[in-house]
Amino acid sequence: MRQAIIAIAQFHPRLGELQSNLDRMGDIIDHIGNTQKVDLIIFPELATTGYECGVKFTELAEQVPGYTIETLGARVARHETHLAFGMVVKHKVESVVYDAAILLGPDGALMGQYHKIHLKPEERPIFRGGFRLPIFPTTFGTIGLLLGWDLAFPEAARSLAIDGAELLVVPANWETQSIEEWKTYLRARAFENSIFVAGVNRLGDEYTYSFGGESAVIGPRGEAHAHVGRDENDRPKEAYTLAKIDLDAVKKFREELQTMQSRQPAVYRAVVRNY
């Protein structure tokens, strides 16, 4: 068995408050690490800034590695775990920014980053779209990263699965009004690819958006290994939970069900044709 313990940390990023969010994330990392040895901790999309920053994203964006990586990396190294989270990054051109997912290794160093490919219409004036779907071998298994609305596109998850991903990590900012869609996509992507999916969605309200939580770890047969529930008033809550998963189950179910092996790529030409 190739067991891994994953922590999904659902919280409310404070809009535009980088240091406050880093402090909160650091405290959560320490709390998890001091309580339980884990292989991976996951936070939501744009966890360090919040979502509705508009043009201020160009001020908040960082080159990586940089301050955020150094700050969170020090906490990660303390507990020798992996960390995945969302932030806004930039390259040398100041005005070009990306909605990015970051993966840090147990030594706190940057393992890699993914730039969100499927941008919603309201995100396109702000962020540059990505164009690569990298996978990341780790000490416990192979990770594929997606962000938020990427989950609505089965081609992205399937591409990562074909390239060897055993666990899809999906930090997200998914709205309350569409939360059933989020939950359905988590299970669908897991079922379709016989893969583990860890989706971590934020909560809280901003100017025009409300975010619905419902973070979960779903197994290759759609089973829930972990779920962050709701408070006594039936509202999303700030909390983390742990999932113990066996990554050998990915190979087991793919061999048993033959879904991946039964694909017929030659007849799927329309999939790569623009609408």
Q: Which domains does the chain carry?
A: 3-263 (3.60.110.10)
Angle formed by the axes of helices 154-162 and 179-193, to 10°?
Answer: 30
SS3 of residue 93 by DSSP: coil
Return the pLDDT at 240: 97
CB 129 within 8 A of CB 117: yes
Tokens 């508009």, located at residue: 54
Look up residue 92 and give its two tokens.
């040398």
CB 193 within 8 A of CB 163: no
Return the pLDDT at 63: 93
* DSSP category for residue 175: B
pTM beyond 0.95, yes or no:
yes
pLDDT in tens, the chain (275 residues): 899 999 999 999 999 999 999 999 999 999 999 999 999 999 999 999 999 999 999 999 999 999 999 999 999 999 999 999 999 999 876 789 999 999 999 999 999 999 999 999 999 999 999 999 999 999 999 999 999 999 999 999 999 999 999 999 999 999 999 999 999 999 999 999 999 999 999 999 999 999 999 999 999 999 999 999 899 889 999 999 999 999 999 999 999 999 999 999 999 989 888 88
